Structure 1
Amino acid sequence: MSERSIDVDLTRSSSGQFVRERIYKWLLFGCAALTVIVTGSIILTLAVDALTFFSKVSLTEFFTGTEWYATSDGGTFGVWPLVTSTLIITAVSAIVSVPTGVAAAVYLSEYASDRMRSVLKPSLEVLAGIPTVVYGYLALIYLTPALQWVGVPVSTFNLLSASIMVGIMIIPMVSSLSEDAMSSVPDSLRQAGYGMGATKFEVSTGIVIPAAVSGIFSSFILALSRAIGETMIVVMAAGLQPRMFNFSNPLDNLLSSGQPMTAAMVNAVTSDATGGSATYLSMFALGLTLFTITFAMNLASDFVAARYQEEYQ
C-alpha cells in the first residue's frame, strides 16, 4: 500500500484572520526595520559631520597626534590622549567588575537558595537602574576622599575613582548576563560531575563556567562597551584635562586627572565654540571613533559566542 503524505492546516482560514495576520506581520517588520533605520541614521549623521571636521583637520593630525587642546576658534586635535584615558578607565573597570560579577553569578546560579536568589537578583537590577550622575557624585564626594584618607595620593579629579565607580556600575550587567548563561547549562552536566566525586566548587569552576563561557564572554564585551560609552561618571570624577599616557610612570595615569572621549564630546558641545567650528565638529569625529570601537567589540563578542557556544540535546 502506498503511503500518502497528508498536510493538515491547523490555522483558521477566515478572511478576517488572514488580514489580521498580515497586519501583525508588517507591524512587527516595521518595528524591526525601525531599529535598523535609527542605527543607520545615527551612523550617517556622524559620518557627514565627521567628514566636515576632517576637511578642517587632517586625518594624520587626528589619528596620530598626542595633544588635544580645543578652543572656541580651533586648537590641536590629536585623539590619542582621549583614547588612552578611555582605555585606562575601561581596563580598570573590567578588573573591578569582571571577577566580582562572575563570582556573584556563580553564587546566584550554583549556591543561592531560591529565596536568596529572589532577593539578590532584583537587588542587582535596582543597582543597574541607579542614574549614572549619582555614581559620579559618589565618586567625587565620597570615593576620592576615601582613597586620599587611606593614603592613595589621588588628585581631586582622577581616573582611578572614575574607573572604580564605572566598574561598580557595570557589575549588574556582568552578573545578570553571566548568571543567565550559567543557568542554561543542563543539570545533567552538574550531576555527572557530582557522580565523579567533584565538589560544588569544582563543578562550578570546572564544568559550569567552561560550558557557559560564550555567554559569559559576551557579557564582558557588552559591559565593557557600556563602560567605554559612559559619560556622567567620567565627566564628574575624571576631570577635563587631556593627558597622554605616561609610560615612564604608569601608576601616575590613574592618580591624576584625564579626559576620556565622552567627556571631550560633552566639553565640545557645552563650550563657547560656534556651530561649524572645528571644536564643535570634533564631537562627531569622536562619536564616530567611539562607535567604531564599540562596534568592533560587539563583533568580537558575536564571533566568540558563535565559536565557543555549546549546543545541548
Structure 2
Amino acid sequence: MFLELVSFTGCGKSEISAEPQVKNTFANPVWDGADPWMIKHGDHYIYCYSVNNAIVVSRSKYMTRRGKLKAIWRAPSSGWNSNCVWAPEIHFINGHWYVYYAAGVSGPPFIHQRTGVLRSATDDVFSDYKDMGMLYTGDNPGTPASNIWAIDMTVLEYRGKLYAVWSGWNKQVDTDATPQNLYIAEMENPYTMKGKRVLLSSPEESWETGGPLNLNEGPEILKHGDHIFIVYSCRESWLVDYRLGMLQLINPDGNVLDPSNWKKKGPVFQGTSTVYGVGHCSFVKSPDGTEDWIVYHSKKSSSPGWERDVRMQPFTWNADGTPDFGTPVPAGQEINRPSGEVEVEQAEIK
C-alpha cells in the first residue's frame, strides 16, 4: 500500500511522490487451510500443505504471507498413496528436504492411511522430489504386510539420533471410528525405520476424552534449551473441543523411547467462545529470532465439520521452562507482526 504525499513548490506546481506505508500489524486468520506446517530455514519461511491430493510448498521472507508456490508432488493414479493425502510436513535433514505425509488407496472410510516420505534432489526446496515409499509403522518390521494405520508423522533429531513420532492405531481394523495413539520409533535414516514402534501416549486423561472418539494426533516437536516437548492434538478434529496436550521429556539424558520418561500435561491450548477447535500446530521463530510463534488451525464455525483456517500468534515461556501458549486471539483483532518482519519489508521496498 502506498500513501501519496503532495508537496507544493514556489511556482505553484505540485509534485506527487509515493512513499511506501508498511503496516505494523496483522489479524487472524491469515489464510484458509488445515494442519499448518511452517519452518524457518535461513531467511525464509517454508510452508507445506496438501490440496487436491497434491503437496504444495511455499517460500517467503514473511511469516504472515505465503510467497512463491509450487506443487512438488501429486498422488499417482493408483496404488497405496493415490488418495486422501493429508497433513504433510517438510524437514531439512543432511542436505535434503524430506516430506512426510499420510495417504491411502481410498476413503471414506479412512481405514487405509499409511505414511510415506519424499526426498528432494538437492538442497533447493523447489527441486524435484523422489517418492521413497511407505514407512513401516507396525509391530513386526520383518513383515511389511503387517503395517498399521499411521498419520501425522513428524521427526525428532536428538543427540545424534533421528526418531519418528506419529499417530496410529493399536491394530489394523475395518472402521475409522478407532481411537488413535502416539507412537515413537528410532529411524535408521530419514526414509527407513529402525526397530519396533513404542506406544508413547493414549487418550486417557479427562481433558482428552469424553467425546464420540478419543484421539491423540498431530504430534509436533518443540525445543527450548534442554527441554524437549511433544505438543499434540486431542479430542475430535471436527468438533469445537479439539485442543492441544503436551508431553515433556523428564530426563534429557534418559531413554527417549521409554514412555515413563515422558510426562503429560493438558490442555495447554484450547478454544474459546469465539475461536473453535484449535489444533495441529507448528512452531517458528520470528525473523529476528527473538520471538516464538505458534501456527495452528481452527474451525470456521461451531458446527461439526472440517472447514478450517490458519492462525498464528506469539507465545512465551514459564519459569520452569514450559511453554505458555495463552488463549487464541479472536479473529480480526490486530496483532503486532512478528519481530523483525516489518524491517524485512522496509528493506525490500527501499
Q: TM-score, normalised by structure 1?
A: 0.24
Which structure shows the bigger proportion of residues in helix conformation? 1
Which structure shows the bigger proportion of residues in strand conformation? 2
Q: TM-score, normalised by structure 2?
A: 0.22
Q: Which one has a bigger Cα radius of gyration?
A: 1
